[in-house]
């Protein structure tokens, strides 16, 4: 057991962390919005945690709080991410269509340039020697695991609430939803902010895990990966992002023997999956399920 | 800022701005016809740069499968530029065939075309990395033939330096823009393209083969992307297979600035962003990369239809 945890514990933590980031994109997707902002908020949350954990001016706070500084970091990261998401979300989400995707690409790039050049974020080197919450890396499952459970329960409850139904209405037809008295901008911004807060918290939790934090944490490449998790897993069910993240985040490990050709395979997976699995893996599975569970007479024409 | 400094920045700005303009036109052409952003455009840009380099210089570095390879021939720069761009045009056609057409035939969600084109981009960039490695390639200074590397204008004590490359870039872009304007505005092909962009269903009822014109559009888009990549590559060098990513993203800022789908808008947007970057004071030059994206945000806030875009009224 000990050896297993040593070897696969970190992979497991990574999978849960990636699944959480995929879910952070799933929230805007619930309201039919394509956001690429998660890596930006993830990087931001990480920097907040890293700065609070290392800067001298926070030393007295750290001494006073002891280990409770960590939950405080998560809280600050969540707050800052939420406020920033409002600032980014409102102008982009007044508009319909591709604008949120474009606005969030711009957001991630602007943040990246800022992190790379500001003094407080350590420039190109970043911040290192971030104090650890646990001694063993696999122990981080003790914070990521419960967070994942809470988020899944939250989504499950949300889907059947008034807000969740509003998201769904906007996703199906924004104009019709607006005509029914739902304020599309309000709900779209709400979905975007929830996702941003989640990504910020995951970032704040990941900074101690990774020990160093730099501008490479939030890039366009990461945006593409998270998007692929959601769309390949299936963007219409909460299990989609989970499954997509688990499969695609494990893919580099599985493809390790291919070495340099690994990323080529990654790209091919994206192309093939978007053509042949338009509703993602979960969509394909549920279609398969309904095919076998319906009596053949009911299928008609046979 | 003195007048001389202004002139220097202005000249730098219109040179790089003209490249942004032709690059962004590649996005715009596809967007105006399909209503989709082709995220593989940045990869075609990179591919074009490597193709032109291979044809004009043909000396590969120490990494990748082509390590230490020296091609037995090399073309003069203008011919290499043209051939490289035409080959990029065919790469654009390949992108349409692999990433867009299968999805269109299935009537899939347009968001998926975004993912499949990103997938094609990922494959292209990593195949390049596999073949040529990730080192920096730069064009030798004598690649344009026997001409002086720069012109210096004297204004009393002050100097304005114009690199020959900048003049080449600007003139090539202007010629291409003029040709493209002629093609779209005054030829049968252009008329058909405009008809498809206006309404594909009606165009097909009028006897226009829509699929063929979509292919033409992707060829033009790839040609412009490859040309832009080659020009940037010859001016600043090719900084590895990922060097197209940031240009690809900047191109998005340009088309939003100009107005999605607007051809004059893309040209104007490219110039505005090129000039804005050139006027960033040198002490803030590290933030230059963020300028285009700041403009994108400003456009979303103030004028989402872009400088020259039409605002659409959604009909139910």
- Identify from B126, B250, B294 which residue to disrupt to test chain A contact, counting A C-beta atoms within 10 A and taking the largest count: B126
Q: Band of the pLDDT at A302, cuts 50, 70, 90?
A: very low
A274 contacts in chain B (CB < 8 Å): 103, 108, 112-113, 115-116, 119
Distance (Å, whole) CA A222 – CA A203: 13
Using 50, 70 and 90 to split pLDDT, how confident is the model at B148? confident
Most distant pair of Cα atoms in chain B: their distance: 66
The two structure tokens encoding residue B304 = 């989402």
CA end-to-end span of chain A, whole Å?
53
Query: Looking at residues B20-35, what average pLDDT do you find?
Result: 93
Owner of token pair 């403009």: B295
With 60 as the cut, is the pLDDT of residue A300 above it? no
What would the mean pLDDT of A190-216 be, rounded to a whole number?
Answer: 93
Tell me what percent of chain A is helix, strand and coil, each rounded to the nearest 5.
80, 0, 20
User: How confident is the model over A127-139, as a mean pLDDT?
Assistant: 84
Contacts of B66 (CB under 8 A, 6+ apart): B60, B131, B132, B133
Contact assessment for residue B222 and residue B97, using Cβ atoms and an 8 Å cutoff: no
- Measured between beta carbons, which residues in chain B are less than 8 angstroms from residue A101? 114
Contact between A232 and A270 under an 8 Å Cβ cutoff? The reply is yes
Question: B50-59 burial, b if ≥16 CB within 10 A, otherwise e?
Answer: bbbbbbbbee
Of B205 and B150, the structure prediction assigns the larger pLDDT to: B205
Give the mean model confidence (pLDDT) for residues B251-270.
Answer: 90
Residue A146 CB neighbours (<10 A)? 10
Both tokens of residue B167? 């003049």
Q: Closest to A106 (Cβ–Cβ): which among B114, B118, B293?
A: B293
Across the interface, do A228 and B129 touch by the CB < 8 Å criterion? Answer: no
Q: What is the pLDDT of residue A161?
A: 94
pLDDT at A21: 94
pLDDT, chain A, mean: 87
Task: Using alpha carbons, list the distances in angstroms from residue A296 to A287, A293, B10, B33.
Answer: 14, 9, 72, 43
pLDDT band at A77 (very low <50, low <70, confident <90, very high): very high
pLDDT at A248: 84
User: Does the pLDDT value for residue A259 go beyond 70?
Assistant: no
Q: Are B118 and A36 in contact (CB under 8 A)?
A: no
Cα–chain center distance at B255: 11
Pair of tokens at residue A276: 């042949």
pLDDT tens digits for range B46-60: 999 999 999 998 888
Nearest to A40 by CA among A85, A75, A91: A85
pLDDT over 90 at B312, yes or no:
no
Averaged pLDDT score across all residues of chain B: 89
For the segment A132-153, the average pLDDT, to the nearest whole number, is 89
Q: Over range B208-227, report the average pLDDT.
A: 94
User: Least CA distance to B119: which residue of chain A?
Assistant: A267
Distances (CA, A) of B132 to B26, B110, B141: 25, 33, 21
**Could you tell me which residues come within 8 angstroms of residue A101 by beta carbon, excluding any fewer than 6 positions away?**
A34, A35, A36, B114
| Tokens, residue B51 | 């193709």
Average pLDDT over residues A44-63: 88
pLDDT band at B222 (very low <50, low <70, confident <90, very high): very high
Mean pLDDT of B133-146: 83
CA distance B164 to B168: 6
Closest in B119, B127, B290 to A274, CB measured: B119
> For the segment B60-104, what is each residue's pLDDT rounded down to a tens digit?
888 778 888 888 888 889 999 999 999 999 999 999 999 999 998
Structural domains for chain B:
3-302 (1.10.3470)
> Which one of A102, A113, A228 has the shortest CB-CB distance to B290?
A113
Residue with tokens 């390879």: B69
């Amino acid at each position: 057991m000990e050896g297993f945890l040593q070897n696969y514990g970190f992979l497991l933590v990574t999978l849960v962390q990636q699944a959480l980031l995929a879910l952070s994109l799933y929230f805007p997707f619930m309201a039919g919005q394509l956001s690429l902002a998660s890596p930006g908020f993830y990087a931001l949350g990480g920097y907040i945690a890293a700065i609070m954990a290392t800067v001298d001016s926070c030393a007295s706070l750290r001494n006073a709080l002891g280990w409770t500084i960590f939950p405080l970091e998560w809280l600050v990261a969540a707050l800052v991410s939420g406020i920033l998401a409002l600032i980014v979300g409102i102008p982009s989400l007044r508009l319909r269509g591709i604008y949120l995707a474009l606005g969030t690409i711009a957001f991630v790039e602007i943040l990246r340039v800022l992190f790379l050049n500001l003094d407080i974020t350590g420039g190109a080197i970043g911040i290192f020697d971030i104090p650890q919450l646990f001694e063993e890396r696999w122990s981080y499952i003790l914070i990521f695991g419960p967070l994942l459970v809470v988020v899944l329960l939250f989504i499950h409850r949300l889907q059947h609430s008034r807000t969740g139904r509003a998201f769904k209405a906007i996703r199906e037809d924004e104009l019709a939803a607006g005509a029914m008295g739902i304020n599309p901008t309000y709900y779209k911004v709400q979905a975007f902010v929830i996702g941003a807060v989640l990504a910020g918290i995951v970032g704040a939790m990941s900074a101690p895990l990774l020990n160093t934090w730099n501008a490479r944490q939030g890039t366009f490449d990461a945006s593409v990966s998270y998007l692929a998790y959601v769309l390949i897993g299936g963007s219409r069910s909460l299990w989609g992002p989970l499954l997509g993240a688990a499969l695609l985040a494990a893919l580099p490990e599985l493809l390790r023997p291919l070495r340099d050709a690994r990323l080529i395979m990654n790209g091919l997976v994206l192309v093939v999956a978007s053509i042949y699995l338009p509703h993602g893996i979960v969509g394909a599975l549920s279609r398969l399920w309904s095919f076998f569970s319906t009596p053949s007479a009911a299928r008609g024409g046979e | 800022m003195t007048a001389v400094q202004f002139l220097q920045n202005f000249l730098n700005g219109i040179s790089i701005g003209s490249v942004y303009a032709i690059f962004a036109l590649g996005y715009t052409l596809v967007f105006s016809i399909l209503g989709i952003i082709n995220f593989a455009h940045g990869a075609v840009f990179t591919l074009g740069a490597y193709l032109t380099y291979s044809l004009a210089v043909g000396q590969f570095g120490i990494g990748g499968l082509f390590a230490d390879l020296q091609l037995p021939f090399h073309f003069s720069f203008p011919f290499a530029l043209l051939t490289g761009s035409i080959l990029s045009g065919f790469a654009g056609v390949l992108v349409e065939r692999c990433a867009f057409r299968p999805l269109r035939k299935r009537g899939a969600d347009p968001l998926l075309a975004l993912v499949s084109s990103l997938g094609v981009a990922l494959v292209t960039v990593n195949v390049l990395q596999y073949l040529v490695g990730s080192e920096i390639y730069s064009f030798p200074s004598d690649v344009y033939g026997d001409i002086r590397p720069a012109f210096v204008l004297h204004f009393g004590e002050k100097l304005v330096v114009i690199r020959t490359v900048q003049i080449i870039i600007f003139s090539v872009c202007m010629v291409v823009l003029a040709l493209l304007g002629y093609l779209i505005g005054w030829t049968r092909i252009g008329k058909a393209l405009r008809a498809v962009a206006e309404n594909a269903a009606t165009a097909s009822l009028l006897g226009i083969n829509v699929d063929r014109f979509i292919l033409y559009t992707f060829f033009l888009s790839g040609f412009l992307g490859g040309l832009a990549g080659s020009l940037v590559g010859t001016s600043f060098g090719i900084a590895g297979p990922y060097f197209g990513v940031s240009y690809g993203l900047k191109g998005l800022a340009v088309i939003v600035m100009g107005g999605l789908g607007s051809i004059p808008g893309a040209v104007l947007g490219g110039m505005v962003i090129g000039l804005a970057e050139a006027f960033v004071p040198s002490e803030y030059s590290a933030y230059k990369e963020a300028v285009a994206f700041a403009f994108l945000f400003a456009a979303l806030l103030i004028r989402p239809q872009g400088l020259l875009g039409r605002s659409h009224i959604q009909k139910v």
